[in-house]
Amino acid sequence: MLDRLEQLQGETLTQIDRTASSAELDRLESAVLGKKGELTTMLRTVGQLPPEERPQVGKLANEVRVALEAAFQARRAALQSHELASQMAAGAIDVTLPGRRVPQGRLHPATITLRQIYNIWAEMGFQVYQSRDVEDDDTNFTLLNIPPHHPARDMWDTFYTTQKGVILRTHTSPGQIRAMHEYAPEPIRVILPGMVYRYEQVDATHEMQFNQVEGLAVGRGIRMTDLKGVMIAFARRMYGAERRVRFRCSHFPFTEPSVEVDVEWEGGWLEIGGAGMVHPTVLKNGGYDPRVFSGFAFGIGPERITLIKHAIEDIRVFWANDLRFLEQF
């Protein structure tokens, strides 16, 4: 056993010097000094030797263990130092390089369009007026010349709440009443952007919530020609200075006369919103004397404008929160 102990020490020291990594050194240490290692096994058999041999074998075995433990420790320190130096060299940072830009979020495409709309109307003297999303039935319908059981209510698929008479607004038009109540009898010129809600089947061209931008101007002597002028100015600033605009007769309960506004687009005509002169009943409900004051109103759909400008085919992508879509803008 004495010869094997000396042989094991020599072989192990040679193998320690040849190890190229900490992992390889760990495996060697486990094979020699681990719980099932060769030297550990030999130490456990010392008690089976003749009594006269035990002291000499035990002494040598302990000396071999101490020597090998010291060799393993020294080699491990050398390997770790070398490995650290290699990692530092491989991952070295060139401090002269420019820093990496921090990824920034982007505006939603509908928000981009809304801001363009705000800017255009601001240049024409319109202020932004924020109105509520949750409305009462009277403000959403009745005060806009749509009394209960009026067939025009079928034009809007309404979300009703559990509280009687409280609904999610179906259009931004009730904001007209609130703005007029706040400013009457002073002249006003405002746009009323916001989310509206319709109980509709969602598909590629319909959503149950979407943005609208309402516009309202009330004052003395406002005429249909003023409405046509501002709508033409808006369309040409949004779609191009040479864009042709046309007006078609239509009907809305809260305007009279009423028109649909179209712009020429890719060889055809595209509807961009509805408009008209504020109905005398609506003016009266808003606190203005229709014999003295007149006004016009219009409604624009920002999502529809965005769909057209960017050739987007499905309105549902606005709410899908898919970064592959959003990062294009």
Is 95 within a domain?
Answer: no
**pLDDT tens-digit map of 171-192:** 999 999 999 999 999 999 999 9
137 and 207 in a single domain? The answer is yes
Give the whole-angstrom CA distance, residue 57 versus residue 66: 14
114 and 78 in a single domain? The answer is no
Q: Note down the domain range covering 168.
A: 109-326
C-alpha dihedral sign at 156, 254, 262, 111? negative
173 and 207 in a single domain? The answer is yes
Is 103 within a domain?
Answer: no
Segment 241-249 mean pLDDT: 91
Of the two residues 291 and 46, the one the predictor is more confident about is 291
153 and 189 in a single domain? The answer is yes
Do 285 and 146 form a contact (C-beta atoms < 8 A)? no
Segment 207-222 mean pLDDT: 93
**Which domain-ending residue is among 90, 120, 143?**
90
Query: What is the distance between the terminal CA atoms of the chain, rounded to a whole angstrom?
Result: 79
Q: How many CA atoms lie within 13 A of 261 on its CB side?
A: 24
201 and 136 in a single domain? The answer is yes
Q: Is the pLDDT of residue 134 over 80?
A: yes
205 and 275 in a single domain? The answer is yes
Structure tokens at 162: 């559990």
121 and 64 in a single domain? The answer is no
Is 100 within a domain?
Answer: no
Q: What type of residue sits at position 246?
A: R
Segment 107-131 mean pLDDT: 93
Do 255 and 279 form a contact (C-beta atoms < 8 A)? yes
Give the whole-angstrom CA distance, residue 271 versus residue 104: 35
68 and 128 in a single domain? The answer is no
- Among residues 106, 7, 1, which one has the least CA distance to residue 327? 106
Q: Is the pLDDT of residue 165 over 90?
A: no
Output the average pLDDT for the chain. 88
How many structural domains does the chain have? 2
Do 215 and 121 form a contact (C-beta atoms < 8 A)? yes
Do 287 and 281 form a contact (C-beta atoms < 8 A)? no
Report pLDDT for 96. 84
**Which domain-ending residue is among 29, 61, 90?**
90
Of the two residues 268 and 192, the one the predictor is more confident about is 192
Report pLDDT for 12. 86
Q: Is the pLDDT of residue 221 over 90?
A: yes
At 276 the three-state DSSP class reads strand
Q: Is the pLDDT of residue 282 over 80?
A: yes
Is 19 within a domain?
Answer: yes
34 and 180 in a single domain? The answer is no
Q: What type of residue sits at position 195?
A: M
Range ranked top by mean pLDDT from 48-52, 83-87, 245-249 = 245-249
190 forms beta bridges with 127, 216
pLDDT grade for 54, boundaries at 50, 70 and 90: confident
Q: How many CA atoms lie within 13 A of 329 on its CB side?
A: 21
Q: Is the pLDDT of residue 266 over 80?
A: no
167 forms beta bridges with 135, 160
Q: What type of residue sits at position 309?
A: K
Q: Is the pLDDT of residue 328 over 80?
A: yes
164 and 49 in a single domain? The answer is no
CATH number, domain containing residue 205: 3.30.930.10
**Which domain-ending residue is among 90, 120, 150?**
90
Do 188 and 222 form a contact (C-beta atoms < 8 A)? no
- Among residues 161, 174, 158, which one has the least CA distance to residue 253? 174
H/E run at residue 66? helix 54-90
Is 104 within a domain?
Answer: no
30 and 152 in a single domain? The answer is no
- How many beta carbons lie within 10 A of that of residue 268, not counting itself? 7
